[in-house]
Copies of this chain bind each other. A is one copy, B any other.
């Protein structure tokens, strides 16, 4: 059976030694007193919850799945999920990074990011139930009316109720402009009350018995709405209607009509949802639903990257344990375990390659994700508007990278770790193939990775005429300036600086080409995103190596630091060079893809 140990030491390294988060947070009035000990204590408790309560339900949840009673439309999640959720609520975990005015603990996003990484390592399918609630909380906080906030937010913050995002329909997912669910005003025109009719699919955590109520955030069309994505509105549609005093009323006409049978995340209820004149209230302005939904979506995209980060970490831990124990063949360079009939497979170079791939993507991805979380804290609470704007621009740039690059890396890493176990990795009992199956959805939902790539190259980079990219480039330039003469850092700084120059050139070229033919963006976007991902990961790996080398130079004997330097070296030697191919294919233009009508006839 698989094991999981929360990577607290590495989180603390990134938080305190690389990003010095206490100092950074102390500049925000709300966190003026926040200290490292407080943060660490929360992470320790969160890690215990993830490892001891949620992780033991991961394999059993995968095997058991969810069941739907077609008469009552009630869904029962796997055994233990409900009790674990009750513990989660009792421990106050839903409130972690929520606003104190709604009962939240008001802790920074960096804490929530670490906590969710651990929940995702422990049990992605379970973590999606509270994860979607957090998205609903954010959307209502930004776009909800005072009445909606009063009615829903304290319940979402406490975890007594959960939330969903109801976007996709059978004929549309990526292209929400095609959606057909209708909303008709009812009662007093000023009341914001509507009746919704239609059907939705792929609704994660869409129905379950873990909470007293579920707040569905539903996209639908108002009468006379313009066609396409500019005619979509957002509604809050509760499972049980809510009386003004917050007590539950009658069952609303929003029902789970089917559960999808999926490759993975079996423990999460992926629902087909029917709305049959369901009561709902408008969230935000009419026809502006997509903008309101994007509040949830952007948070969800960072959250999906974090799901793959969690799976990469837990897959690595289990493959490492196996590689140390499994005896098979002798090392090519001579016997390593003389008293054993064979050497542990960790002595075989290719096994190390697979393990270090997962390790470098886990630790590098953690730094990138925590950096984004810190930017979110700054975007919201920093007193200086320029800092807030810079943080917002960087988060916008990095969000598609976190979503697509980390989930693709999760695919690479979980499959590499499965491979370390050989045939045993293919057997369900080992748990390794579940990590790979669960991860596979992360490349798809909340906008496929192709959509992320278009968002990055088309909207964020070219859409800002390179300004957003330049802001990240300035961080790299500052590091290059700082360490450019340090010989020990040259192996990290030189390739990073070279790639930054290449990316600038590539971006300019693609911008010029796109003016002639917009398909050039679509043709280059996926490769461009992976190049940008390595630029970001290369930057964070160089910063981590910098800190580790300084500690070593200062005489710190903790083996954590040479481990960090070794992993940075591996990353630059074996993963970063992927950019050599990506630059070529990103340059290759749209014709090899688009002049292919006969080939795809």
Contacts and interface: CB of A to CB of B under 8 A. Distances in A.
Interface of A: 168, 171-175, 177-178, 201-202, 260-264, 320, 323, 327-329, 331-333, 341-342, 346, 348-353, 355-356, 359, 411, 415, 418-419, 422-423, 425-429, 433, 436-437, 440-441, 443-445, 448-450, 453-454, 458, 517-519, 521-523, 525-526, 559, 562-564, 566-567, 569-570, 573-574, 577-582, 584-585, 588-590, 592-596, 598-601
B350 A453 contact: yes
Given A173-B423, A419-B449, 14 more contacts: A173-B328, A174-B422, A175-B329, A260-B427, A333-B518, A349-B593, A355-B600, A356-B600, A418-B440, A426-B440, A559-B601, A566-B599, A573-B585, A580-B584
Contacts of A426: 262-264, 440-441, 444
B596 A522 contact: no
Contacts of A423: 168, 173, 201-202, 441, 444-445
Contact of A596 (B263, B323, B440, B570): B570
A596 B566 contact: yes
Given A262-B427, A333-B519, A563-B601, A353 B433 contact: no
B577 A584 contact: yes
A449 B418 CA distance: 13
Contacts of A580: 580-581, 584
Complex A-B, nearest 10 residue pairs according to Cβ-Cβ distance, in ascending order: A349-B522, A573-B592, A263-B433, A332-B518, A563-B598, A581-B581, A566-B599, A577-B584, A350-B450, A349-B523
Nearest to A174: B328
Contacts of A351: 450
Tell me how many chains of this kind the complex includes: 2
A577 B581 contact: yes
A595 B567 CA distance: 10
Contacts of A443: 419
B523 A263 contact: no
Contact of A346 (B562, B578, B600): B600
Given A517-B333, A599-B359, A600-B352, A342 B175 contact: yes
Contacts of A173: 328, 422-423
Nearest to A330: B175
